[in-house]
Amino acid sequence: MKNPLRIAIIGQSNFAADVLELLLEKHYNVVGVFTIPNKGSREDILATTATRYNIPVFKFSTWRRKGVAIPEVLQQYKSVQANLNVLPYCSQFIPMEVIDGASLGSICYHPSILPRHRGASAISWTLIEGDEVAGYSIFWADDGLDTGPILSQKQVQVEPTDTLDSLYKRFLYPEGVKSMAEAVELVALGKAPKIRQTEVGASYDAAMFKEENQYLNLQQTAEGIWNFIRGLDSVPGALVTVEVDKEKGVEENIRLYGAHLYGDKPIGKPRELWLKGLKDPAFVHDKGLLIPGTDGKFVNVRRLKRGSKMINACDWFSMAQAPQITHFTAEEVDKKQILSNIWFSILKCPIESDTDFFAAGAGSMDVVRLVEECKEAFDVPLENEHVFMAPVFEEFFGEIVKCLREGSSAEGGRVHFDGFVMKANKKEISIPTQLFINGEFVEAEQRKTLDIINPTNEELLCRMACASRGDVDKAVKAAHNAFYGAWRQVSPRQRGQIMLKLADLMEQHKEELATIESVDSGAVYTLALKTHVGMSIDAWRYFAGWCDKIQGNTIPVNPARPNNVLTFTKKEPLGVVGLITPWNYPLMMLSWKMAACIAAGNTCLIKPAQTCPLTALKFAELTVKAGFPPGVINIVAGKGSEAGQAILEHPLIRKLGFTGSTEIGKTVMKVCAESNLKKCSLELGGKSPLVIFADCDFEKAVKYGMSSVFFNKGENCIAAGRLFVEDRIHDEFVRRVVKDLRSMVIGDPLQRSTAHGPQNHRAHFEKLIEFCDRGIKDGATLVCGGKPVPNTKGYFFQPTVFTNVEDHMYIAREESFGPIMLISKFHGSDIESVMRRANRSEYGLASGVFTKDISKALAFADNIEAGTVFVNVYNKTDVAAPFGGFKQSGFGKDLGQEALNEYLKTKCVTIEY
């Protein structure tokens, strides 16, 4: 070419602005930019970009009047002396005097594979018509509508998940910008082709910016309905009319978003919703709005727009509104001004409390910009949906504050899951059977499952998702991202508020949780209600109170004069914590560990016992309703050999909290060291001694002596593994225990009169039989029990009493973890010997003594090697009292203030001044 290109850009929007910047980067000479007038005080981004580069800007509301070019407009265009017009996504009608006014012609971008889908709504029609391929064309403008010769075309496969919005963002926009620059280069080189458009397959489609064209034709197949909805998603949205009251003729127009073909049954209890033009009703269910097609198939719609308010389709009838935040901190008020500035930079108009983002002229790309700028400014887990759900400034600010305080609670704290309905205790309880990862219930890899057996009748309860190493890795990464993202934005006091809300929800659902615990683990319902669930609630409330009281110290150190030194410590969370809990108290063990972990500011994943994981999954559902951000709490049910091992070895986990056997505890400690030297706390086996002196309160000693062994059917880590009873009361003590055992009701744990339910699972049940056989073989005297309850289905084991148990016997040394009382006799004058015998065990979890002599009691407390000492009581634990063992019963504490230290690290800061 003899003369360099002189380019005029005619268009608007971010797309045109990006084309302009790319051409300038390639050193092309842009001599003028022609765009639309300001909307209020809001200037189009193309004009703003051109001004930044000192390029002349011209703003015309129209180029023609009554079909004739406006002379003064034409004159201004000619003043820049352009020889090539570039029209990236131009929505105005440009007169031919301008199109042909450039000696090299005019090139246009069009979002379809011409000649198909000529017209302003090409992307929409690509989806509405169900095209398998989408694309764009750059063509030479002529006097037709998108009919000029083709310069270049590119195409892409349409994915089933594509919407107008996604197709534009992932392909038509980014690739289109690059192709516009490539087209200009071909023109500059004189190599730009002009391929005549064929009329074969040509179509001109209606403009979807006209409301009358946005109504969804419901008399078509489900696929046709789906394609129409996604063709208008996210703007402007497909329109349907709801017949709110047929008799009174009350109707309401709504818009539909987030559609997909649906092949499952309705979830939950569907309710009919009549849409105008449908012969059969649509259904609102837990997953959205189901619309039937003429082929009998369904489309599911996730979101609806009523007026300017976006709602979840499943909430059509409930329309439950989350409580509005009315009190803001000074820091939050400052953030409100920052948010107002962001809105102003996008909308270019004064921002008031009732400013509507879309009514002020914002489009889909403005939504993306708003979300990204807010993420950068506030570090909150926002999505585009948040803007549509709360388009008014005051509402949107409330969402920002909510995310800052609690993280994102998508769908209003509602969580969806696959599971089963447990019909028990006069209740119907929906229970998830999936893994809980990043705030969602998901299937395990390869859909692996565990069989969950009801210990009362040995029948299959359900099949539970069984986590793989890959599933554990996903959960760890979700917890890791949450720890460094949304969870960090939640202040300690706000963290406590979320925990209190969770405790309140557990209180509301305590009967459901106790029922699940009873059916799944065999716990007696009344005990499950009071202890398993009751103490769990107490734990969350107790540790919630600690959240804003975790603090370091100022330390007086010796500075080198004349300088001064300030040294202080900070208590900080560790990061991602892995928790592995046992099967005897499924919910309580989860709560003991997790409440302290969360209060300290960590995120976590937990592997509940594979035999009874159901309360943990029901608990997960409540965490969503409480407002925990996704990823803070994750639950991966599975086998210890795979999921448990993956937790121990994962390098992103910084702490492991474990409750289980001493044998497994040793492996846990070893792997924690070998993997990444992760901190660990271990609550392991026990063989707790209980010494009963003759000077005790005998009635009380019998009562607590029995509960020390038979509480929770002996599946109790601090159960008295061996009773030392003074010879003067030995025989009477045994007689009273046996007498009381005869009146103990054994049976269905859901029956209120039941005192003794089934053991947790078959393998443990069979070990108890072996344990008793070993005791008889070694010479101990079996007084009663020692075998399964006859003629009964389920894992019911008879409460058992052995006497004449000697120190060398297997049953005197090893833990039974079942309803087996082992009694040894001692002489009242030989207190030192009985103390030595009590300490001879390698375990040191708990202990107890019954005596009215305070000197004996205190001597026992001083000399016993155990983490807990009960005096004239047993099993009396409290969430404020530290709990943990010595020796091979492990180390570290659950409960009490000391438990927080297990989940914190101390940082020392020294400043010289």
Residue 742 CB partners (closer than 8 Å, separation 6+): none
223 membership: H or E segment, kind and range:
helix 222-231
Q: What are the structure tokens assigned to 212, written together?
A: 């009358």
For residues 717 and 904, give the distance between their C-alpha atoms in angstroms, rounded to a whole number: 25
Rounded CA Rg of the chain? 36
For residues 69 and 439, give the distance between their C-alpha atoms in angstroms, rounded to a whole number: 58
Q: Tell me the CA distances in angstroms from 707 to 711, 718, 818, 871, 873, one per residue in order.
A: 5, 11, 12, 14, 10
Are the C-beta atoms of residues 490 and 407 closer than 8 Å to each other?
Answer: yes
How big is the CA angle at 250 (ends 246 and 255), to the nearest 5 degrees? 105
Q: What are the structure tokens assigned to 752, written together?
A: 């209120």
For residues 86 and 89, give the distance between their C-alpha atoms in angstroms, rounded to a whole number: 10
Neighbouring CB atoms inside 10 A of 696's CB total: 24
| Phi-psi domain of 684 (left: phi exceeds 0; alpha: psi -120 through 50; beta: other) | beta
CA nearest neighbour of 821 among 785, 860, 875, 777: 785
Residues known to be catalytic: 110, 683, 717
First to last CA, the chain: 70
Q: Report which DSSP code applies to 409.
A: -
Q: What are the structure tokens assigned to 235, written together?
A: 């703007």
CA nearest neighbour of 226 among 256, 190, 205: 256
Instruction: Return the residue matching tokens 């208590």.
Output: 571
Q: For residue 254, which phi and psi values (nearest 5 degrees)?
A: -135, 160
Q: List, as one string, the DSSP characters of 447-461.
A: G-EEEEE-TTT--EE
Q: Is the dihedral of CA 566, 569, 570, 575 positive or negative?
A: positive
Which amino acid belongs to residue 248?
K
Q: HSE-up of 290 (CA within 13 Å, CB side)?
A: 22
Q: For residue 217, which phi and psi values (nearest 5 degrees)?
A: -80, 110
Which amino acid belongs to residue 265?
K
| Strand-pair partners of 485 | none
Neighbouring CB atoms inside 10 A of 901's CB total: 18
For residues 620 and 614, give the distance between their C-alpha atoms in angstroms, rounded to a whole number: 10
For residues 305 and 378, give the distance between their C-alpha atoms in angstroms, rounded to a whole number: 27
The SS3 call for residue 726 is strand
For residues 361 and 344, give the distance between their C-alpha atoms in angstroms, rounded to a whole number: 12
| Strand-pair partners of 32 | 8
Residue 414 CB partners (closer than 8 Å, separation 6+): 312, 314, 315, 624, 625
Neighbouring CB atoms inside 10 A of 428's CB total: 10
| Phi-psi domain of 268 (left: phi exceeds 0; alpha: psi -120 through 50; beta: other) | left
- Directed axis angle between helix 510-521 and helix 534-544, to 10°? 130
Q: What are the DSSP E strand ranges found in 672-811?
A: 679-683, 688-692, 720-726, 781-784, 800-803
Q: Tell me the CA distances in angstroms from 555 to 329, 567, 905, 908, one per residue in order.
A: 31, 5, 17, 9
Q: For residue 322, which phi and psi values (nearest 5 degrees)?
A: -65, 145
Q: Tell me the CA distances in angstroms from 641 to 396, 410, 578, 644, 858, one per residue in order.
A: 47, 34, 15, 6, 44
Are the C-beta atoms of residues 495 and 597 closer than 8 Å to each other?
Answer: no
